[in-house]
Structure 1
Amino acid sequence: MVCFIGVLWLTICTALVGYIPEGRFKQWVNYHVSIMCFGLLSGALSSVITYHNTENKPKNGICVANHTSPIDVLILMCDGCYSLIGQRHGGFLGIFQRALARASPHIWFERSEVRDRHAVARRLKEHVSNPENPPILIFPEGTCINNTSVMQFKKGSFEVDTVIYPVAIKYDPRFGDAFWNSSRYSMLQYLYMMMTSWAIVCDVWYLPPMYKREGETAVDFANRVKSVIAKQGGLVDLVWDGQLKREKPKKEWREWQQEEFSKRLKNE
């Protein structure tokens, strides 16, 4: 109930902020209202969050982080204001998205556009080209991973020519397991588990901004950022696609693994 009231309060506040004329005052109000409301939601989950190296906090461009839970957004929004990117929804979630969009620039896609990489890249470029926009928050793994590893980053957000702010998030499982196993628990079940756990204890590390090197491909840049996040968070750096928990591995991935295994056999 407390969590629902918090979301409702956030929706109302951001909708009211949307009526303020565009400008620095609106940005200032939105920043403080956002942190206040997400702080209320954080309290509903008994969150204990420690932020490290705040001098590296994202200021613009793209912020990328490893992904363990839907509350990763809440954890980061308690300490800063970000633009979000995602699919446009209906119902109450759609009302919530529209309220957020009135207060601050966010990127919501129609279902038909989500898989259009060119449309996504174009909207990202448009967003980061405006220095007045907040940094856009992206989880390049595309799915929740179990708080032990960082899996393959999708290259899309690394194709945009802008600064990347890496963020490492690590939860302490002794007090409450923040990982959302979506194939086992519904969102309501997951939220119930979060709100009935002892606490959600979490460390967040803001890492120095990173830039794409000359001649570096988007894939290599994504892997370099992923490696930095994994090292800081004490997570295992894996090359596997996190979507393998839902789909069968691609033929080329199987063949690559077979080739690597045969090389090891020959060396032995």
Structure 2
Amino acid sequence: MFFTDILEFFCIPFSVFISFLVILSAVNKSVGVRRAYVKLLLKIFEFGRLSIESAATERQTKDGETCNVSVGTKANDINRPCSKQTGTSIPTTNGNTLISRDSVLLPTTNESSATDRDDSSKDEEIRFNLEKCFDYIKAGVESIIEDEVTSRFEAEELRSWNLLTRTNRRYEFISWKITLIWMAGFAVRYFILMPLRVFVCFVGVVWLTLCTAIVGYIKDGEHKRRMVDQVLGHCFSVLSSAISAVIYYHNVENRPTNGICVANHTSPIDVLVLMCDKTYSLIGQRHGGFLGLLQRALARASPHIWFERGEAKDRHAVAERLKQHVSNPNNPPILIFPEGTCINNTSVMQFKKGSFEVGGVIYPVAIKYDPRFGDAFWNSSKYSMMQYLYMMMTSWAIVCDVWYLPPMYRQEGESAIDFANRVKSVIAKQGGLVDLVWDGQLKRMKPKKEWKEMQQVEFTKRLKGD
């Protein structure tokens, strides 16, 4: 009887809270609790920053270390941890790189390596100029010191500590005040926020499944599309509460209406972030488990393009289905992440040209997460989907900015690769991200043999002084 009373005591407030949450999502209203929560966190982070700087100054006085400590006005303005060597600091992976590279050494020709080898064999006289290769030696040493590719597949390093153990610099015991704040934050995140978020996520997934199943029986037409927009917007709004998402949308007049929408890719929740504001069709490989459940639910309500593993490698089939979807004006815009993999919120990597060969309008969207509240990057080679969701639900919050950029069209005589690079540079500039030429698939595989041969040919030309 006692346990029954306790269960009722906790279930009634939970049910009232969930009902209130669903009603707010249905009418697309917010009471501002999450934004007030984020502002409170900023004040706590600022207090922690000042305490850490004060402790570092005291330690500097005692040990005689030289340390760059300056009290800024923002929580992310704190300087990096001190070093016993004058003027040194720990390198970061958030775009403030240790080495400033003027350019990336790429082959200057598109000719095949076999042709170049034939041409070189015909030369009667070869003059070696070793000094011409100094830039290659410099690039090699720079890559040894700091690899700008693999660092994009690791968690972004913070400029200031956000009281999370996964970004711990052993600051939680620097003073008794910080220790108390850290312990209180741990209790709030793991014993209050996490159970509540898991419950909200469960309710949101069940609600999404039921709503999409009901909408799926409505006859196709304008009425169904309006209904799908309302239902999915309201369901994803509930799901966003499971990670305490605070999203700021900019330039909403450029919001996609049809065609193809392309965005940089940091996390699977990129879809959730964008779907809270606009309904999209999705394209991708069929999955099992939790993602597969969501895919099947979404497919009941709106048109999406899901491929089996073998079909996804058939570029012609993918392009044909993409063209068919875009050619139908009644279909919602299709959301594509041309990078093909998650990058750590610091840069944008090579865009695949497939989505830029279809033709028509391209709507670029830039997404930038605020790492102070939680790391949204999914390192799929290190964490499973469930581990990633666990990390999201034990973070403080997920705060991000979304910029809708003006629509872009392929210019006359412009190749699909050049068009993709032009769109990528616009997204990188707006989001404050580093624009890289490297393929994101280097996260999982070695460079292609063709690229190695092209670099060898380029090195040979420089060595000969061509």
Structure 1 length-normalised TM: 0.94
Give the direction of change, closer, same or farther, for the CA distance of 1:122–1:263 in structure 2 (3 Å limit). same
Q: Work out whether residues 18 and 99 of structure 1, in 8 Å CA contact, stay in contact via their aligned partners in 2.
A: no
Matches within 5 A, 1:208-219: 208-219=406-417
For structure 1, list consecutive stretches of 5 or more residues without a partner in the other structure.
Answer: none
| 1:233 is aligned to 2:233 | no
Deviations 1:209-229 (A, max 9, x none): 000111111111000000000
Corresponding residue number in structure 1 for 2:210: 12
Structure 2 length-normalised TM: 0.55
Worse-superposed segment, 185-194 or 65-74: 185-194
Corresponding residue number in structure 1 for 2:323: 125
Deviations 1:114-150 (A, max 9, x none): 1000000000000000111000000000000010010
How big is the shift at 1:99? Answer: 2.7
Worse-superposed segment, 249-258 or 63-72: 249-258
| 1:97 is aligned to 2:295 | yes
How big is the shift at 1:5? Answer: 2.4
Distance 1:12 1:223 in 2: 41
| 1:204 is aligned to 2:396 | no
Task: Pick one of 245, 253, 260 that aligns with 2:451.
Answer: 253
Corresponding residue number in structure 2 for 1:37: 235
Q: Hey, which of these two has a bigger chunk of strand by percent?
A: 1
Deviations 1:166-189 (A, max 9, x none): 000000101100000111111111
Deviations 1:23-79 (A, max 9, x none): 111111110110101011111100110000000000000000000000000000000
Worse-superposed segment, 104-113 or 198-207: 104-113
| 1:159 is aligned to 2:357 | yes
Q: Work out whether residues 35 and 81 of structure 1, in 8 Å CA contact, stay in contact via their aligned partners in 2.
A: yes
How big is the shift at 1:250? Answer: 1.3
Give the direction of change, closer, same or farther, for the CA distance of 1:186–1:63 in structure 2 (3 Å limit). same
Give the direction of change, closer, same or farther, for the CA distance of 1:187–1:92 in structure 2 (3 Å limit). closer
Corresponding residue number in structure 2 for 1:140: 338
Q: Hey, which of these two has a bigger chunk of helix by percent?
A: 2
- State the AA in 1 paired with 2:230: H
Q: Work out whether residues 167 and 229 of structure 1, in 8 Å CA contact, stay in contact via their aligned partners in 2.
A: yes
Deviations 1:153-206 (A, max 9, x none): 011000001100000000010110000011111111110111111110100000
Deviations 1:228-257 (A, max 9, x none): 000000000000001101111112333445
Give the direction of change, closer, same or farther, for the CA distance of 1:5–1:168 in structure 2 (3 Å limit). same
Corresponding residue number in structure 1 for 2:68: none
Instruction: Kindly name which structure, 1 or 2, has the bigger radius of gyration based on alpha carbons.
Output: 2
| 1:173 is aligned to 2:398 | no
- Name the Cα RMSD after superposition: 1.9
How big is the shift at 1:6? Answer: 1.2
Corresponding residue number in structure 1 for 2:307: 109
Distance 1:206 1:138 in 2: 14
Distance 1:71 1:102 in 2: 20
How big is the shift at 1:95? Answer: 4.5
Worse-superposed segment, 77-86 or 95-104: 95-104
